[in-house]
Structure 1
Amino acid sequence: MIENSNLDRVDRQIVHELQRDARIPMRDLADVVGVAASTCSERIRRLQSRGLVTGFHADVDLASLGRSVQALVFAQIRPLSRALISRFHDEALAMPEVMAVFVLAGGDDFLLHLGVTDVAHLHSFLVDKLSARKEIVQFRTSVIFSHGRKRALEDLNALAP
């Protein structure tokens, strides 16, 4: 949980730069935000301890991992219960093809983000793994042709009037 999510200008700049490039050398980051490297390092530690910076990662080319086809699968499960939602979430996330699981409100209960080798692999996953589950009453699939995401998200609280 994030403690006191209000950030000053320096913290916002640090978060922004780390989102753009988490491997930026401390000295360079400190220069960009206008503080000493030791101050910058301490601020990063504080941002981590407060839960605002939750980790660092590497972006990987999905095709090089045999995931040339991506798809979104919207699924409904029954009977709805906290235990079943939790179990399906964990079991879906453990499937090698599943890259992310979202629990939803509205018409669908889950959104699964898949990465598979090809359309035949996607079909096999849907028929053999998803359709075989008795709790799934319905699902629909959309193949992703392309997708983009923002590398550096802004603090919307800081933008509010």
Structure 2
Amino acid sequence: MYNLDDTDCKILHYLQQDATLKTRELSEKLNLSYTPVYERIRRLEKEGIIKKYVALVDREKVGKKLMVFCNIALKEHSLTMGEKFVKAVLAMPEVMECFNISGDYDFLLKIVVNDMSQYQHFLMQKLGALENIGSSHSLFVMGEIKNTSEIEMLDSKTK
């Protein structure tokens, strides 16, 4: 874990809200000169705290109206079979997120597709084609209540 001070946390807070903020704009918000803010951002990037900058796309506006969480249980838990599964999932553009979990299932996939027909094709042709899947359980999202990528960086005293 990295030791982040209040200024680092504020920089991360602002960039998570709007990654298009220029260093000059950040320096104004933080009441600091340009150079120290620039150097802090570069350090946060170099240390891997800031992994990358992305544009968040409204999935429904681009036709991806169905979100599904799919629990997967593997038949065999060998390193080779697990690696094959992970490699296959990484190549599937429909899978937005994949988590190795504990409990009754081994993996939780977040899948985004156009509609139920496309999900059925994905399930039968892609997931179903993998040799090591023992079972799957699909949960269909009916409504999104909260969706954020922001990690809380500021405690109530710092805000």
Report the TM-score when normalising by structure 1.
0.87
Does structure 2 conserve the Cα–Cα contact (< 8 Å) formed by 1:89 and 1:103?
no
Q: What residue in structure 1 maps to residue 97 of structure 2?
A: 100
Q: What residue in structure 2 maps to residue 18 of structure 1?
A: 15
Displacement of 1:157? 9.5
Does structure 1 conserve the Cα–Cα contact (< 8 Å) formed by 2:10 and 2:154?
no
Alpha-carbon distance change, 53 to 115 in structure 1, aligned in 2, over 3 angstroms:
same
- Most deviating of 60-69 and 91-100: 60-69
- Most deviating of 79-88 and 14-23: 79-88
Query: How many aligned residue pairs are there?
Result: 156
Displacement of 1:133? 2.4
Q: What residue in structure 2 maps to residue 81 of structure 1?
A: 78
Distance, in Å, in 2 between the alignment partners of 1:29 and 1:156 is 16
Does structure 1 conserve the Cα–Cα contact (< 8 Å) formed by 2:72 and 2:107?
yes
Structure 2 residue runs of 5 or longer lacking an equivalent are none
- Give the SS at the match of 2:49: coil
Residues 11-160 of structure 1: pairs in structure 2 closer than 5 A? 11-147=8-144, 148-155=146-153
What CA RMSD, in Å, does the superposition of the two structures yield over aligned residues? Answer: 2.1
- Give the SS at the match of 1:35: coil
> What letter matches 1:152 in structure 2?
E
Q: What per-residue deviation string (whole Å, max 9, x for no partner) do you get for residues 79-118 of structure 1?
A: 1022222221121121122112111122111111111111
Distance, in Å, in 2 between the alignment partners of 1:120 and 1:103 is 27
Q: What per-residue deviation string (whole Å, max 9, x for no partner) do you get for residues 9-59 of structure 1?
A: 100100110000000121111111221112111100011111211111100
- Most deviating of 44-53 and 61-70: 61-70
Displacement of 1:150? 3.2
Distance, in Å, in 2 between the alignment partners of 1:104 and 1:25 is 38
> What letter matches 2:55 in structure 1?
A
Does structure 1 conserve the Cα–Cα contact (< 8 Å) formed by 2:26 and 2:37?
yes
Does structure 2 conserve the Cα–Cα contact (< 8 Å) formed by 1:71 and 1:144?
yes
Report the TM-score when normalising by structure 2.
0.88
Runs of 4+ in 1 over 3 A off after TM superposition: 155-159
Distance, in Å, in 2 between the alignment partners of 1:66 and 1:90 is 27
